[in-house]
C-alpha cells in the first residue's frame, strides 16, 4: 500500500496515481447484492464474501 498526499506547495486539484483502479474495483462490487449493506456478523465473513465476489469477477 502506498499512501500519497498532495504536495504542500501545490494549490488546487491534484490527481492521485492509481485512484481510478480502486474506484473501479469498488464499482465492480456494486453488482453483488450481498455486499450492498453490512449483513455479516463477523469481519472475516465480510472479507470472505468480498474475496468470493472478486474471484467471480476474475473468472468471468
Percent of the chain with pLDDT over 70: 98
Give dist(CA 45, CA 29) in Å, integer. Answer: 15
Q: How confident is the model at residue 56 (pLDDT cuts 50, 70, 90)?
A: very high
Q: What is the dihedral of CA 51, 52, 55, 57, to 10 degrees?
A: -110
Q: When comparing pLDDT for 17 and 58, which is higher? A: 58
Q: How confident is the model at residue 53 (pLDDT cuts 50, 70, 90)?
A: very high
Q: When comparing pLDDT for 41 and 51, which is higher? A: 51
Give dist(CA 4, CA 40) in Å, integer. Answer: 31
Q: Where are the domains of the chain?
A: 21-59
pLDDT value of position 15:
77
Assign residue 12 a region: left if phi > 0, alpha if psi is -120 to 50, beta otherwise? left
Residue 33, all three cell numbers: 447484492
Amino acid at each position: 500500500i502506498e499512501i500519497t498526499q498532495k504536495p504542500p506547495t501545490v494549490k488546487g486539484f491534484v490527481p492521485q496515481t492509481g485512484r481510478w483502479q480502486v474506484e473501479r474495483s469498488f464499482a465492480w462490487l456494486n453488482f453483488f447484492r450481498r455486499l450492498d449493506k453490512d449483513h455479516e456478523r463477523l469481519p472475516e465473513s465480510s472479507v470472505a464474501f468480498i474475496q468470493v465476489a472478486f474471484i467471480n469477477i476474475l473468472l468471468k
